[in-house]
């Protein structure tokens, strides 16, 4: 059992969990992740430790509420409660190399994964600029990033109440692509790194490819066990099947089969929507919402 030492909402649909998990805190490196199971018979979800203290034994997870499990966590868990399992650290650490001038991009909560990597790259001598593009009420970690890297750019996009969340996301993608193009045209870069939804990663990659700049990406395929045994997170990279959990999560953007990845991440969206709708019906029946 992994005690929740601190829980607070830090932005719209973003919740901060400080978890006592000494075995993770002792070994985790930037770029790695954990698999969390919060409830009995609940699903396993991959999450990124954003911060940690090796002596005190805690890690910080920032969780975006997007489906049944993450909504249950936001509504049903409190400080003092515990998560059932926190497995990890998993995946390969990000390479700690001197790349030079780096543009590290986080779309939506992708900035959560960018933070520890960008901070570590800056500390070993890189000149790191971070870019966060998201909806205005979902801006997070701004102070932390401003103190961690050479320059932190926030591009907030207003939510248009006339449209649903999915339609609004197109405005984020548009602003993201515009800003990346502006930065690539005005400055010289040695590496671009990005974390975010695969569709946005592909859109940014298409711009970066025009400039011929090396680009690395952390991928978010469907993931179950995080150990390479289930095969759910397979992605095609350089024509070969790779498993994001044990071969990644970071890959060369030029080698990723983006269309296959985008197709695969939508396999269970209908079932995920049904599970969330049923949970919302339960909450309504109980008078919670």
- Does the annotation place 158 within a ligand binding site? no
- Does the annotation place 245 within a ligand binding site? yes
Task: Classify the C-alpha dihedral 133-88-40-56 as positive or negative.
Answer: negative
Q: What is the DSSP letter of 48?
A: -
Angle CA 21–24–27, to nearest 5: 145
Range list of β-strands (E), 69-195: 82-83, 85-90, 101-107, 127-135, 151-157, 191-195
Report CA-CA distances (Å) from 230 to 76, 84, 169, 266. Answer: 29, 21, 31, 18
Report CA-CA distances (Å) from 16 to 82, 161, 263. Answer: 14, 26, 30
Contact 112, 141 (CB under 8 A): yes
Determine how many CB atoms are found less than 10 A away from the CB of residue 120: 18
- Does the annotation place 233 within a ligand binding site? yes
Determine how many CB atoms are found less than 10 A away from the CB of residue 133: 29
Residues annotated in a binding site for [2Fe-2S] cluster: 230, 233, 245
Residues annotated in a binding site: 230, 233, 245
């Amino acid at each position: 059992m992994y005690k929740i030492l601190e829980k607070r909402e830090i932005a719209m649909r973003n919740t901060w969990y400080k978890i006592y998990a000494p075995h993770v805190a002792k070994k985790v490196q930037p770029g790695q992740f954990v698999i969390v199971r919060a409830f009995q018979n609940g699903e396993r979800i991959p999450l990124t430790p954003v911060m940690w203290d090796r002596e005190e034994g805690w890690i910080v997870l920032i969780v975006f509420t997007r489906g049944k499990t993450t909504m249950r966590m936001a509504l049903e868990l409190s400080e003092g409660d515990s998560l059932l399992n926190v497995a990890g650290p998993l995946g390969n650490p990000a390479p700690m190399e001197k790349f030079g001038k780096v543009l590290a991009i986080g779309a939506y909560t992708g900035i959560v994964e960018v933070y520890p990597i960008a901070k570590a790259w800056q500390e070993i001598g890189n000149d790191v600029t971070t870019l966060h593009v998201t909806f205005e009420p979902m801006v997070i970690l701004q102070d932390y990033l401003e103190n961690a890297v050479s320059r932190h750019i926030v591009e907030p996009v207003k939510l248009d109440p006339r449209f649903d969340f999915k339609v609004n996301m197109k405005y984020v993608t548009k602003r993201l692509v515009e800003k990346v193009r502006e930065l690539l045209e005005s400055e010289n870069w040695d590496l671009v790194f990005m974390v975010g939804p695969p569709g946005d990663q592909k859109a940014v990659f298409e711009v970066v490819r025009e400039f011929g700049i090396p680009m690395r990406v952390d991928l978010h395929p469907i993931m179950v066990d995080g150990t390479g045994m289930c095969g759910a997170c397979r992605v095609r990279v350089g024509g070969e099947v790779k498993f994001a959990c044990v071969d990644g999560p970071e890959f060369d953007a030029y080698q990723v089969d983006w269309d296959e990845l985008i197709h695969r991440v939508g396999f269970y969206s209908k079932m995920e929507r049904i599970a969330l709708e049923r949970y919302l019906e339960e909450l309504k029946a109980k008078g919670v919402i």
